[in-house]
Amino acid sequence: MKKLLILISLLFMSFGFSQIKFEAEVSKTNLGVNENLRVDFKMNKDGDNFNPPSFDGFSVVGGPNQSVSNSWINGVRSFSKTYSYFLSPLKKGKYTIGQASIEIDGDIYKTMPIQVQVTEAVQSSVSPNNSISFLNDDIELNLEVSKSETYLNEPISVEFKLLFNPKINVTNLGEIDSPEFNNFWSQNIKIPRLEIKSTSYKGQRYNYVTWKRALLFPQKSGNLELLPLTLDVTVDVPTNRRDFFGNVIYTQTSKKVSSKKKNIKVKEFPSEGKPESFNGAVGKFDVSLFSSKSELKATESFQLELKVNGRGNLKLFSLPEIKVPSSLEKYDPEFKEDIKSSISGMNGQISNTYTIVPQFQGKYPIPAVEFSYFDPEAKKYITIKTNESIVDVTEGPMNSDYTNNSGLSFNQNNTIQTIGQFNYIKLSSKFSSINSKKLLDSKLWLYTLLSIPFLIFIVILLLIKVTRKSISDSDLITKNAEKLARKYLENAKIDISNKESFYSSLDQALFNFFKSKYMIRKEDFSKDKIKSILIKENISEKVIYDVIELIESCEIARYTPATTDAMDKDYEKAVQILTNFENV
């Protein structure tokens, strides 16, 4: 009987070992983008050449961790081996955990693929059996808003702050899922560098880093939702182990943290007392209108600058139009802005500059410009106006109807309606016939007309002769002056051992050279005069500097001693200057 029981046990054992299993298990099939996933590959018999799948759409944050269980219960051997991986999803979507393979007793075994759905961030991000699951209470991403109730186009500021326990170290941050701020006009506020600061949170001291700042301007009324932001955080976590010197040993791991959703209640503008000139400006503003001239001549131009400055949604409304009389030609404006954005809001100024050209003389009124905005603190509309001004056009053609001031009126197209504006056109004529026979009978008149072309021809010949003579004289003077310049420059080279003779010849050379070029007189030969002439001729700054420096050397040498080296350099500089001008 005993032998029979042993035989039955051996049969069951051989049957049990013949059933080889190799399976894949996941901690969950549906998880948020801020959660981690655990994947276990289990086998009931040891094997070789284990090959995990590629884990497309995930990053491996832990593993592979290997565990082996081998036990005997009532004479029956129980074996289990597991390869564990901890995965972090890269983004939302549907993914497949591919097949893993292993070789057992010469045969290849593979797991079945597993479908996993990754959704948007969830409130809790506990990863089962993960080594960093205890971090949920030690690290948190908060979304802070300046106000939860606001008006349309009234700015609110948002800040995303990562808070963490001082006992852990944050070594790297990366943004995975960014909120799109739907139904908001947004502007990011640049953070120069990340700084770790301390604060009190949940009754304890926490460190925090401000990761993102933005200004939001709601463009739709009602309850608007701010979606969460998800960060991938690399942290150094303390373990229970210590090194040889008793210091705590840290292990590095990563974790995804997400902020919570926020609801913003956006109110409509009040309908009561809403002015016609209101176009969406929200905040506190001033408006002004400046004219570059108050008096000018016709066909001259002047500028009208309409400027709005203050604090509010400066980038989200347009400036009102300026209306001027039709006798003032108005061109399209040039828009400028000088706006600074910070976490406290947007402030600065915007302006439109119009170029105006009057067509007739007279005094033209520039009407006041009306500007309206909504003050969210006072919860009411405010309308302000610029001052009226007068532009006096003193010279130019007369507008025949301008003197009738009662006939001037502005219309919507920015033109002037005048009474009898076409009265200057005569509708009747008084023509008289010409007695051509009487005109031709006058022989003196006829001879005079015939001689006029010959007289004009003779005058033209005389003018040409005189002009050629003056040009030739001018050319002769120019050539003589240029010859003298070169002659004096040669004399300077000869007299280089005599300071006074050298600089006198050099000064004469420079004068005659510039006389040949620009016809200047001796009394006009000075540094300022030469500099102004060269600037007008668009001569390079380097050449102008060398010329002025050489003239100064000639002036200073009269009263101070000069070395031979200095005179050599001045001579070479003079030659270089003449060469540069010839090239020009």
3-state per-residue secondary structure call for 30-76: EEECCCCEEEEEEECCCCEEEECCCCCCEEEEEEEEEEEEEEEECCE
**pLDDT of the residue at 569:** 79
Beta strands in 367-405 (DSSP E): 370-375, 380-385, 389-393
Average pLDDT per block of 10 residues along the chain, 584 residues long: 57 55 88 85 86 88 74 69 86 89 88 89 54 62 92 93 86 80 90 87 86 92 90 78 70 82 92 90 94 87 94 92 89 93 91 92 91 93 92 81 42 41 54 57 70 86 75 50 62 69 76 73 72 80 80 71 74 76 61
- The CATH superfamily assigned to 9-119 is Immunoglobulins (2.60.40.10)
Closest by CA to 369, choosing from 328, 418, 308, is 308
**pLDDT of the residue at 412:** 37
Rg (CA), the chain: 47
Cβ distance 24 to 39 under 8 Å? yes
**pLDDT of the residue at 408:** 41
Beta strands in 152-247 (DSSP E): 156-164, 169-177, 184-188, 196-201, 204-218, 222-226, 230-242
CA distances, 200 to each of 154, 163, 463 (Å): 30, 10, 98
Closest by CA to 485, choosing from 510, 502, 465, 519, is 510
- CATH number for the 475-583 domain, one of 3.30.70, 1.10.3470, 1.20.120, 1.20.1630? 1.20.120
Q: Is 317 exposed, middle or buried (0-12, 13-18, 19+ CB in 10 A)?
A: buried
Work out the number of other CB atoms within 10 angstroms of the CB of residue 59: 12
CA distances, 3 to each of 7, 14, 419, 426, 554 (Å): 6, 17, 135, 144, 132
DSSP character for 237?
A: E
Cβ distance 531 to 544 under 8 Å? yes
* Phi–psi pair at 532, nearest 5 degrees: -65, -40
**pLDDT of the residue at 561:** 67
Its pTM surpasses 0.75: no
281-407 belongs to which CATH class?
A: mainly beta
